A = this chain, B = another copy of it.
Amino acid sequence: MTTIRDVAKLAGVSVATVSRALNNSGYVSISAREKVEKAVKELNFYPNEVARSLFQKKSKLIGLLLPDITNPFFPAIAKGVEDCVNERGYSLLLGNVEGDSEKQEKYLRIFEQNNIAGVISAVQGNPINLKNMPFVSLDRINEEQKYVVHSDDFLGGQLAAQAIIDGRAKKVVIMAGPENVSASKVRLKGNKDILDRYAVPYEIFQTESFHLDLAEETAKAVFNQLSEFDSVIASNDIYGLALITEAHKRGIKVPEELQVIGYDDMPFSKMMTPPLTTISQPAYEIGYKGAKLLCNVMERDSVTEKRIQLPVTLIKRETLREKDEHE
């Protein structure tokens, strides 16, 4: 690897001069600067991040905490985060937490050991030991956090309930997402707000997790434990999908006998049979805007909006019944 010594040698100046030129600190004559720049170009020299990090006590690394990388919502967020931090000259240290608080603590320790410049997290809760580290929370936010980016979960909950009512719901099952996830609780509030307003009866089925592996057994449990429902508001697209599959197995027609709405609009939800009606939230944009906010905080740029809420939209497809226009 080319070192700062090679650059100094080729440029015919001291190592200290090269260092001052590269860090834009202290006096360097114009001719020395030109020589250094020429040598840097010729040798294709990139300063070692580790040396820079040790000197400045801060690296160009950002820690990314995700709850579950196999849930397609989070890779979409990660892609947005990555695109933005790369533009700003940072790289991502990956931490896939999977609901394991010990694992999260371990990641945070590793992040600290690597002098990371900031943390961006889609995991619920306030990591301890972060102290004054720049920190942005995505999606699973809470009231106390200073910097957050999320979508409008209350509106999402309302839109889902309204769409189900438009499909002539007589009895609704709300599959409520995990209780420890803030977004689930807010969506549930949105659901109830509308269902109560129209006095549509509903039952709540509490799910433990958003995990892919549990979707099928959860769908079975809904049918085994509840009865006489004609509408389901699923906790996300995967759970909606599992529910439709289970309905088919039981000879229940979707949407004629059972209508289902998902949440997230995952890339493959439009390719279902029937294509899944769902609430779309802008995962990539949540990631991108969250990373931009973090970079601005880290670089002490002016931050006008500290808590950013993005819109959600109803994506009508074919798993809800048609609205009865004559009613």
> Can you give 19 contacting A-B residue pairs, CB < 8 Å?
A1-B112, A46-B112, A48-B113, A51-B54, A64-B94, A69-B82, A70-B72, A70-B75, A70-B76, A72-B75, A86-B106, A91-B94, A92-B93, A216-B271, A238-B268, A241-B268, A241-B271, A248-B273, A272-B272
A59 vs B270: C-alpha distance in the bound complex, in angstroms? 44
Known contacts: A48-B115, A272-B273. The answer to whether A82 contacts B70 by CB under 8 A is no
Contact with B along A147-160 (1 / 0, CB 8 A): 00000000000000
Pair B59/A82 contact, Cβ less than 8 Å: no
Contacts of A215 in B (CB 8 A): 271
Bound Cα distance from A94 to B238, whole angstroms: 26
Closest to A109 in B: B46
Min CB–CB distance A226 → chain B (angstroms): 20
Given contacts A70-B72, A272-B272, 6 further A-B contacts (CB under 8 A): A50-B115, A61-B93, A91-B95, A91-B110, A216-B271, A238-B267
Assembly CA distance A244 to B274 (angstroms): 11
* A53 nearest in chain B by CB position: B50
Among B59, B96, B242, B272, the residue within 8 A (CB) of A245 is: B272
User: For residues 63 through 116 of chain A, which have their beta carbon under 8 Å from a beta carbon of chain B?
Assistant: 64, 69-70, 72, 74-76, 78-79, 82, 86, 91-96, 103, 106-107, 109-110, 112-115
Q: Does A47 contact B (CB under 8 A)?
A: yes
Please determine whether B273 and A273 come into contact, CB atoms closer than 8 angstroms: yes
Cβ-based interface call for A208 (8 A)? no
Contact (A78, B69) CB under 8 Å given A1-B112, A49-B113, A91-B110:
yes
**Contacting pair B94 A94 (CB below 8 A):** yes
Residue A252 is within 8 A (CB to CB) of chain B in the complex: no
- Cβ–Cβ < 8 Å partners of A92 in chain B: 93-94
Most interface-central of A46, A70, A103 (chain B CB within 10 A): A70
Answer whether residue A127 sits at the interface, using C-beta atoms and an 8 A cutoff. Answer: no
Chain B residues, Cβ within 8 Å of A267: 70, 212-213, 238
Chain B residues within an 8 Å CB radius of A49: 110, 113-115
The A165-209 residues at the B interface (CB cut-off 8 A) are none
Residue A12 interfacial (CB < 8 Å): no
Chain B CB within 8 A of A275 CB: yes
Q: Which of A255-271 contact B (CB under 8 A)?
A: 267-268, 270-271
From residue A6, how far is it (CB to closest CB) to chain B in Å?
15
Q: Which residues of B contact A271 (CB under 8 A)?
A: 215-216, 238, 241-242, 244-245
Q: Would A94 and B82 be within 8 Å (CB), given that A114-B49, A115-B48 are in contact?
A: yes
* Complex interface: chain B residues within 8 A of A79 (CB): 69-70, 96
Q: Which residue of B lies closest to A1 (CB)?
A: B112
Minimum CB–CB distance for A45 against chain B, Å: 11
Known A212-B268, A273-B244; judge A78-B50 contact (CB<8 A): no
Beta-carbon nearest neighbor of A266 in chain B: B268
Q: How far is the CB of A34 from chain B (nearest CB, A)?
A: 24
Residue in chain B with minimal CB distance to A240? B271
